[in-house]
Amino acid sequence: MLNVKTLLFRVCKNTTYLLKKKNITENLFPVKETKLIFTFHFKLKICLKMKDELSLLHHAISLAKKSIRDGGGPFGAVIARDGKIIAEANNMVVTSHDPTAHAEILAIRKASAALRSHDLSDCVIYASCEPCPMCLGAIYWSGIKRVVYAAGRKDAADAGFNDSLIYDEIILNPSERKVAFIKESNAGGKEVFKEWDKYEGKIPY
């Protein structure tokens, strides 16, 4: 079976030959052969990148499957930079007795530790399923700008992981949520931020 690179090379070569044979490059379009080859080279790079991304996504899915066998939740995540894996994790909510131990959260923690930085803006996360609201927040805070995932939130809901309540609750005023949110305005919470604003050694994030 031909690989993607060989296939596109042959398409490029054959197309160039046909255009020359029909004299299209000279009489119909102001397109040079070099431009045609460049176009196919560009498409080749895109296809190869898509292939790499699919491979990383498949790896996240394999982590999710292994997690099931290991007693964890059916979720896996991989964080990569320039196509190289920086961190990977599976859902460990039950096995670690930690409700926040989602695959994406754990992968972000590992990646940040490996890179010794809270800024993962040059990384991509690959998840076996669309990240939940908690993980979505962590992704934004980490600076990650690209998320590639396989299953959707409806697929997760059908399997018993329904996040619709959380999505609905987020947009409500805190006083209207099902979980009791009590704000004590006179407790001095604002003083913390005043101190933060004055602190010269702070690192904004």
Residues annotated as catalytic are: 104
* β-sheet with 124-129: strand ranges across: 84-90, 76-81, 124-129, 147-151
Q: Which of 95, 55, 62, 96 is nearest to 77 (CA)?
A: 62
Q: Which of 158, 159, 160, 156 is nearest to 135 (CA)?
A: 156
* Alpha carbon 118 to chain centroid, angstroms: 16
Tell me the residue ranges of DSSP E strands in the chain: 76-81, 84-90, 124-129, 147-151
Give the Cα separation of 79 and 98 in Å (integer).
21
Sign of the CA dihedral with 171 first, then 174, 175, and 177 last = positive
Mapped to the 3 state alphabet, what secondary structure does 11-37 carry?
Answer: HHHHHHHHHHHCCHHHHCCCCCHHHHH
Gyration radius of the chain over CA positions: 24
